[in-house]
Amino acid sequence: MQFSRSFTKKLNEQLAKVDLFHSQWLIVYYLNQYGCSTLVEISNYLDVEKPTVTRTVNRLEERKLIEQIPGKDKRERRIQLTESGERTYQEAKKVVEEFELQLMSGLAEEDRETTLRTLLFLKEKLK
């Protein structure tokens, strides 16, 4: 838990350069990777409650980084990145990659691979 909190805090400090928070970055990242999505799809992917996603999405929408698009079902709220959101994604991606490189610097490649395998293993066990 301490690592997770420290990681998020430091990442938020870096993401401030592009005016994003970690929670917003996760949604922007998801939309870039998977395209137009529903709030339920995003909340399932992130394993967080839908109201939490809704609040974050509303903030991103206020900033014109995402937009709603009509779905087949009027009750379904589908969203996608705007052009501004795509640009923000590209800027944030560079910030995140640089942060991760700094964090992992000094760690041998073999240890990086072991860490990644371990994290993926633990993630699967949590499901």
The predicted pLDDT at position 19 comes to 96
The pTM score is 0.89
Measured in whole angstroms, the distance separating CA 114 from the mean position of its chain's CA atoms is: 23
Determine the Cα–Cα distance for residues 81 and 17; give it in Å rounded to an integer: 19
Using the predicted structure, report yes or no on whether residue 83 has a pLDDT greater than 90.
yes
Q: Is the pLDDT score of 125 beyond 80?
A: yes
Model pLDDT, residue 78: 92
pLDDT digit string, tens, across residues 16-74: 999 999 999 999 999 999 999 999 999 999 999 999 999 999 999 999 999 999 877 77
Q: Which amino acid is at 101?
A: L
Residue 76's pLDDT is what?
79
